[in-house]
């Protein structure tokens, strides 16, 4: 086992033994922006602001939580619900959140 794996396992055990309640997951979307490079691909990461409450200062892919408004609007073309294993409304919200969050955080319009 690697040192990182051992540390993560120890942290998980401490959390379990603490009796704390895990956070309920929220629907969210993450986008990996790739571009060809001489050695394969380059991946776009952004550094989270030091002032953020969660994961401040870490490098992350663009993305974030689904906003209730992301489910509104005309149905999306394609088979997103089937691809994502979600209802049409849930899939639409996740795809719209991915597009919105990427534009907000990077200026890249998908």
d(CA 31, CA 38): 22
Q: How confident is the model at residue 4 (pLDDT cuts 50, 70, 90)?
A: confident
Cβ-contact 66, 29 below 8 angstroms = yes
Contact 62, 101 (CB under 8 A): yes
Extended beta strands in the chain, E state: 28-30, 34-37, 40-43, 46-47, 59-60, 63-65
6-57 pLDDT, tens digit each = 999 999 999 999 999 998 999 999 999 999 999 999 999 999 888 988 888 9
- The answer to whether the predicted template modeling score (pTM) of the entire model surpasses 0.95 is no
């Amino acid at each position: 086992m690697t040192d990182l794996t051992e540390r993560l396992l120890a942290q998980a055990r401490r959390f379990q033994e603490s009796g704390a309640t895990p956070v309920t997951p929220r629907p969210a979307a993450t986008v990996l922006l790739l571009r060809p490079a001489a050695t394969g691909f380059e991946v776009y990461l952004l550094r989270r602001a030091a002032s953020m409450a969660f994961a401040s200062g870490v490098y992350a892919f663009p993305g974030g939580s689904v906003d209730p408004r992301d489910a509104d609007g005309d149905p999306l073309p394609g088979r997103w619900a089937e691809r994502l294993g979600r209802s049409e409304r849930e899939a639409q919200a996740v795809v719209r959140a991915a597009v919105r969050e990427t534009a907000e955080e990077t200026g890249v319009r998908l």
